[in-house]
Amino acid sequence: MKDLLEIRWHGRGGQGAKTAAQLLAESALDTGKFIQAFPEYGPERAGAPIRAYTRVSDREINIHSPVTNPDIVVVVDPTLLETVDVADGLDESGILIVNTTETVDSVRRKTKYKKGKVATCDATKISLETLGIPMPNTPMLGALLKIKAVVPIEALEKEVQKKFLKKIGEEKTQLNIKAIKRAFKETKTG
Amino acid sequence: MMTKKLIALTGDQAAAEAMRQIEPDVVAAYPITPQTEIVMNFSQFAADGRVKTEMIPVESEHSAMSACVGSAASGARTMTATSANGLALMWEIVYITASLRLPIVMPVVNRALSGPINIHCDHSDTMGARDSGWIQIYCENAQEVYENIIVAVKIAEHKKILLPVMVCQDGFITSHAVEGISIFPDDKVKKFIGEYTPEHSLLDVENPVTYGPLDLQDFYFEHKRQEAEAMKSALKTIPAVLAEFNKTFDKSHDLVEEYKLSDAEVAIVVLSSTAGTAKGVVDELRKKGVKAGLLKPKFFRPFPKARITKALSNLKAVAVLDRSDSFSGEGGPLFSEIKAALYESEKRPPVIDYIFGLGGRDIFPEDIKKVYKDLQEIKKTKKIKSPVNYLGIRE
Amino acid sequence: MKRKRSERSERSPKGAQPKAGRTEGKGWKEIPIAGIIDKGGTAREYKTGSWRTFKPVVDKSKCINCLQCWIYCPDSSIVVKDGKMEGFDYDYCKGCGICASVCPVKCIKMEKEAT
């Protein structure tokens, strides 16, 4: 892993992209990394496209500007492929991970991202089947860890446990962890 | 690897955490984006009984600062927090707080002061308050926010200072970004700040005191002279307080932070989070053999002139990055003061101003690289084409 | 806690009008900070009675001791003893004439201070 790992999250307000960015960072913090996670606030409406960022490093992070050349881009909502240039700044060594029912080839066509790695995961389906609500953010964390072991999946589980238990209770917390694990298994690359 | 356990907090949460450990007697505050999470989190601490603080929810910032003045005059350790338009609404009382010499500490989350209305970061709110008599500390990251709020209490209440302190952090950039923060033990913080023993208290009925009587031509001037002296002498007292803080918590706070300046030829002067981004650029340029450096004033009030002059006078070219405009036609407030400081110096490097980041416009390493490139050119030609520039603007 | 207090209010030198100019009173290093008056009852030192041009005089033979004058006096300058109106505290009476105005039996007259 290079010194600084930069991840950009694309989602819509209310889908938990900001929470996902934070969860990943906080899991990494627990494994001894330096971290940064921040959302890019616009009008803050449910449904509006939003960006969030995660930085993970072995060294102190001084930079305080948005990520322009991400190592990884995670797209939490498939409809964003039509409206947002999600592959912007992603070079050939990059990774694009999308919540979609479509194939890797189809994603490549839509995003015009040809050279780097592309992975897909039907996180909405996983979320609906596991949690009963469309919250694709946690499964997308599972998808991300499958493609890039930013942290061990156990570290993420621990963090989800810590963060969610008080807020949504034991049962739903466990279902989120289940969704993460299922997404980890079902993520496809090409 | 790290030796200390870090916890994930936003800048706002870090501020609330510092306030929890300080446990002021009174907090009167009104929520405003992007300060909201400070008040929200601290209210939670109060509601959960984790602090014994009297939390006063008020109907406006004017009322918040008014309640704080009453509280502080009664001898209570008092805090509040605000942003932008909230600071503007408490303006009248902001001046009164300083002139009554009430040691209130106020985290301010920097946000563009309307209009057009905008909730994102620039320094137009607190820069407007630079002449209000408050001490101002600007923070690079959430860790500094946390530490500066703690040390601010000690500075404000110092018998030789007795001035209120604003602890400023960049709205959203710092306030809403999660970073790993190292938190001191509660008892160590409480021991460091100590018990607050006010010189005068409205509640001390054995020794009655009047706060805020009419002060006319015969004495007002003398009282303002005292205020000026308090701010000036704070420059001598603050380093001692910082030294005590550094010794207690194993830190290295100073009036200014010099980054790779000792042998630098060109340097940027910038406050707050952008200093962090600029450090990365300095590192990159250094690898290419460019003698680049950075000066980050931590205190803007009092203005550490001697330190700044000393740090800059040997450079070949200096750029000031201002996150607000003064609309004087002569650049931003930091630029004016840096230039004024250098006027008395025997060696005066050329100084150029870049106004940037208004209303939360992002500043990227590429922007900062451009500034260093301009500085290299100025170093060569010894000429500044345009003294005031706008960085990251669409022409 | 006993604190050192200034001997008297610095800001009311005996109620006399300060001289025009800048020399009256102590310097900025010697006065309490922030315009604080750091002791109580300093208004007592300010003898506002000297501001008077008319002074109230009571005809006790007509007075019914209703104490309306005492209620209305803005300067607490009606002297009352055992529930009876005794006269005026001329140290602080500014001669505003409110007492004469409110007196229901018109036993207070305003007389010119100096001829």
In this model, does residue A95 exceed pLDDT 80?
yes
Nearest to B176 by CA among B17, B37, B357, B358: B37
Which pLDDT score, from 0 to 100, does residue A43 have? 63
The CA distance from B221 to the nearest CA of chain A, in Å, is 44
The CA distance from B47 to the nearest CA of chain C, in Å, is 33
Question: Chain B to chain C, count of Cβ pairs less than 8 Å apart?
Answer: 67
Which pLDDT score, from 0 to 100, does residue C16 have? 59
pTM of the model as a whole = 0.93
Contacts of B142 in chain A (CB under 8 A): none
Of B210, B221, B227, the CB nearest to C36: B210
In this model, does residue C113 exceed pLDDT 50?
yes
Q: Which residues 144-203 in chain B show a CB within 8 A of chain A?
A: 170, 172-174, 176-180
Task: State the CB neighbour count (10 A cutoff) for residue C34.
Answer: 23
CB contact under 8 A, B172 and A26: no
Number of domains in chain A: 1
The CA distance from A104 to the nearest CA of chain B, in Å, is 32
What chain B holds in terms of domains, given with CATH numbers, is: 8-249 (3.40.50.970), 256-391 (3.40.50.920)
- What residues of A are in the B interface, CB distance below 8 Å? 22, 25-26, 29, 32, 34-39, 41, 61-66, 68
pLDDT digits (tens, 9 = 90+) for A82-93: 999 999 999 999
Contacts of A35 in chain B (CB under 8 A): 8, 178-180
Which pLDDT score, from 0 to 100, does residue A41 have? 77
Contact status, residue A38 vs residue B173, Cβ threshold 8 Å? yes
Contact status, residue B341 vs residue B308, Cβ threshold 8 Å? yes
Which pLDDT score, from 0 to 100, does residue A2 have? 61
Nearest to B330 by CA among B314, B353, B309, B347: B353
User: Does residue B265 sit at the A interface (CB-CB below 8 Å)?
Assistant: no
CATH of the domain at A57: 3.40.920.10
Give Cα A182 to chain centroid, integer Å: 15
Which pLDDT score, from 0 to 100, does residue B1 have? 43
pLDDT digits (tens, 9 = 90+) for A164-190: 999 999 999 999 999 999 999 999 997
In this model, does residue A34 exceed pLDDT 80?
yes
Note the CATH number of domain C49-112: 3.30.70.20
Q: What is the DSSP string of B312-360?
A: HTT-SEEEEEESS---SSS--HHHHHHHHHHHTSSS---EEEEEE-GGG
**At A143, is the secondary structure helix, strand, or coil?**
helix
Of B207, B210, B227, the CB nearest to C5: B207
Structure tokens at B226: 């005292």
Task: Check the CA dihedral A18-A24-A30-A34 and report its sign.
Answer: negative
Residues 6+ apart with CB under 8 A from B267: B261, B292, B293, B294, B295, B312, B315, B318, B319, B375
Contacts of A61 in chain B (CB under 8 A): 179
**At B118, is the secondary structure helix, strand, or coil?**
coil
Considering only alpha carbons, which residue of chain B is nearest residue C27? Answer: B222
pLDDT digits (tens, 9 = 90+) for B116-137: 999 999 999 999 999 999 999 9
Which pLDDT score, from 0 to 100, does residue B167 have? 98
Confidence check on the interface: ipTM exceeds 0.90, yes or no: yes
Contact status, residue B137 vs residue B165, Cβ threshold 8 Å? yes
Look-up: residue for tokens 């909730």?
B119
Domain residues for A179? 4-189
How would you write the pLDDT of chain B (395 residues) with one tens digit per residue?
A: 445 689 999 999 999 999 999 999 999 999 999 999 999 999 999 999 999 999 999 999 999 999 999 999 999 999 999 999 999 999 999 999 999 999 999 999 999 999 899 999 999 999 999 999 999 999 999 999 999 999 999 999 999 999 999 999 999 999 999 999 999 999 999 999 999 999 899 999 999 999 999 999 889 999 999 999 999 999 999 999 999 999 999 999 999 999 999 999 999 999 999 999 999 999 999 999 999 999 999 999 999 999 999 999 999 999 999 999 999 999 999 999 999 999 999 999 999 999 999 999 999 999 999 999 999 999 999 999 999 999 999 99
The CA distance from C95 to the nearest CA of chain B, in Å, is 23
Look-up: residue for tokens 């007592």?
C44
HSE-up (13 A, CA, CB side) for residue C8: 11
Contacts of C2 in chain B (CB under 8 A): 207
User: Does residue B8 sit at the A interface (CB-CB below 8 Å)?
Assistant: yes
Contacts of A22 in chain B (CB under 8 A): 8, 178
- Encode burial over B269-290: b for 16+ CB neighbours within 10 A, e otherwise: bbbbbbbbbbbbbbeebeeeeb
Look-up: residue for tokens 């992975």?
A119
Cis amide prior to B116 (ω within 30 degrees): yes
- Cα–Cα distance, B76 to A64 (Å, whole number): 37
CB contact under 8 A, B222 and C38: no
Q: Do chains C and B touch (3 or more CB pairs under 8 A)?
A: yes
Lowest-pLDDT choice from A38-47, C39-48, C53-62: A38-47
Task: From residue C101, give the alpha-carbon distance in Å to each of A26, C48, C50, C87, C98.
Answer: 78, 20, 21, 16, 5
Domain edges within chain C: 7-46, 49-112
